[in-house]
Amino acid sequence: MPVAAVPSYLGSDFKDASPGLRFGMYLPLWGINQRSKEILWTTHDIKYEARGQSHQEREVKEENKVNALRSAAQLTTRDKALMQALTERQAAAAQTKANLLRLETLSISPFTTGLGNEHPLENGFAFLNPYGLPYLPGSGVKGVLRQAARELAYGDWSDNQDWNDDAITALFGREGQNGDTEHQRGALSFWDVIPQIKGDALQVEIMTPHQKHYYQDRQSPHDSGQPVPLNFLTVPPGSGFAFHVQCNLALLNGIAPGLAENSKWKELLQAAFEHAFDWCGFGAKTAVGYGAMGEDPKARQQRQEEQAKAQALLKEKAAAERLATLSPEDREWEQAQPVLDDFRTEFEKARAAGAFNPGGTFSPVRLEFMKQALDWPEARSRKAAAELLEASATKDWGRPAKKERWKELQDAIVALKGQA
């Protein structure tokens, strides 16, 4: 076992170090240096020692691998505060970017990454330096989403969500091969993801390969291979992952203006994320179920509300632009339509409920509509209001209980008709 690259004066208590350092330099499984002087000879009770570097003897520590990993996986209060601070920093930076898609998700299975990194326990793990916290590199996010886009474009799916070769190249770029095509930069940039780990520690998982004799020793394959337990770290299910994807809109306008119009690129990317959540996964060992994620329900509801508000603002803007092109009379007629429609709906609802109730909710609604209609200067609007009021106040249905209220209503109908 190698020796930890730690000066002896630091001691052996590293519980306050980051998970990345405890998993790497300060792992309890590292050996310990014992320095001793090599005695060459002794004359007249004088010991002659070898010059130069002292002889090193290695004391190998006998520790349980699982316990060592669990001690490295613990999260301190400082680690959790740093995790939260990094996430808040990303969220604050995202608010300053106009062309950015943010998705908050929850892992529904263990997540692991960086297993190929060198480590004495066979399996490594990806920690973000200098913080020593788990992370998913932005390059890994890009690779998963590119694969999801390809599967949507070419796979056996009922709807390709408008993904095709041109969209993939424009958003993710293209790497020329063998001089056949030129390199092309994609319009999207992917940020690193800092998981918000659920609980106070990472999880220790285990894999038990049974075919070492075949894959490494080149023996004939058979079913009696001896299992070799290998432990590795994972982020537990239920942890939060915030994905950020930024779009270079100027570049996208130049190479694919259709994707830049009305944020079409966001719709495509949203579809790719949903496909990746359901079928691809993120990180390592996705083929056996690791790295599966789903959008956080609360975050999804908030995003849908924001999208609805944005669409409503666009509709209001389009309506205002249209009204600006109309004559004053047509503009007043257009503005009266929502009020007329709302009262018509309330009238039909009250009529469908059965007999008229003078003390019910419809009477004050009708009174308010009447007062509003009397202030309209436009003739068509006043006439339409008079017809609705007349239909809502007949002898069979809708007549007010008080005579003065009935007279007020009839006078209003006459006034509205008289100016029509």
In the chain, pLDDT over 70 holds for what percent of residues?
A: 89
Average pLDDT taken over every residue of the chain: 86
Shared-domain flag, residues 254 and 177: yes
The answer to whether residues 213 and 219 touch, using CB atoms and an 8 Å cutoff, is: yes
* 221-236 pLDDT, tens digit each: 888 878 878 889 999 9
Shared-domain flag, residues 101 and 246: yes
Burial (CB < 10 A; 0-12, 13-18, 19+), residue 137, is: middle
127 in helix, strand or coil? strand
Shared-domain flag, residues 272 and 378: no
Q: How is residue 280 annotated by DSSP? A: I
344 in helix, strand or coil? helix
* Mean pLDDT within 132-140: 96
| CB atoms inside a 10 Å sphere around CB 54 | 13
Shared-domain flag, residues 308 and 330: no
Residue 155, domain member (yes or no):
yes
Q: Is 60 exceeded by the pLDDT of residue 38? A: no
Shared-domain flag, residues 128 and 213: yes
Shared-domain flag, residues 344 and 386: yes
Residue 70, domain member (yes or no):
no
Q: Is the peptide bond before 209 cis (omega within 30 degrees of 0)?
A: no
CA distances from residue 91 to 111, 177, 295 in whole angstroms, order as listed: 22, 37, 16
Number of domains comprising the chain: 3
User: Which segment of 62-76, 119-133, 180-194 scores lowest on mean pLDDT?
Assistant: 62-76
User: Which segment of 5-14, 199-208, 291-300 scores lowest on mean pLDDT?
Assistant: 5-14
* Mean pLDDT within 343-367: 91
User: Taken in order 309, 342, 368, 401, is the CA torsion positive or negative?
Assistant: negative
User: Which segment of 27-36, 214-223, 341-350 scores lowest on mean pLDDT?
Assistant: 27-36
Task: Classify residue 43 as left (phi > 0), alpha (psi -120 to 50) or beta.
Answer: beta
Residue 66, domain member (yes or no):
no
Tokens of 333: 């007629």
pTM confidence score = 0.68
Q: Residue 221 CA to chain centroid, in angstroms?
A: 44
Residue 165, domain member (yes or no):
yes
Give the model's pLDDT for residue 1. Answer: 47
Q: How is residue 3 annotated by DSSP? A: B
Give the model's pLDDT for residue 37. Answer: 45
Residue 3, domain member (yes or no):
no
* Mean pLDDT within 239-258: 96
Which of 145-149, 174-178, 317-321, 359-363 reaches the highest mean pLDDT?
145-149
* Mean pLDDT within 305-321: 84
Antiparallel, parallel or unpaired: β 293-295 and 55-59? unpaired
Residue 69, domain member (yes or no):
no
Q: Give the span between the Cα atoms of 149 and 164, in whole angstroms.
A: 8
Q: Is 70 exceeded by the pLDDT of residue 55? A: no
Shared-domain flag, residues 206 and 310: yes
Shared-domain flag, residues 106 and 42: no
* 165-224 pLDDT, tens digit each: 999 999 999 987 766 678 899 999 999 999 999 999 999 998 887 777 787 888 888 888
Give the model's pLDDT for residue 212. Answer: 78
* 152-166 pLDDT, tens digit each: 999 877 788 899 999
Q: Which of 314, 341, 371 finishes a domain?
A: 314
Q: Which of 282, 314, 346 finishes a domain?
A: 314
* Mean pLDDT within 309-314: 84
Q: Is 80 exceeded by the pLDDT of residue 396? A: yes
Shared-domain flag, residues 167 and 83: yes
Q: Is 50 exceeded by the pLDDT of residue 53? A: no
195 in helix, strand or coil? coil
Give the model's pLDDT for residue 118. Answer: 87
Shared-domain flag, residues 52 and 180: no
* Mean pLDDT within 70-78: 93
> Which amino acid belongs to residue 385?
A
Shared-domain flag, residues 364 and 282: no
Nearest 5°: phi and psi at 130?
A: -95, 10
Which residue, among 308, 274, 260, 281, has the nearest Cα to 103 in the 3D structure? 274
Tokens of 373: 């209609």
Give the model's pLDDT for residue 257. Answer: 95
Give the model's pLDDT for residue 2. Answer: 53
Q: Which of 273, 291, 314 finishes a domain?
A: 314
* Enclosing domain of residue 13: 8-59
Residue 336, domain member (yes or no):
yes
Shared-domain flag, residues 332 and 309: no
Residue 288, domain member (yes or no):
yes
User: Which segment of 60-74, 154-168, 325-339, 400-414 scores lowest on mean pLDDT?
Assistant: 60-74
Give the model's pLDDT for residue 40. Answer: 43
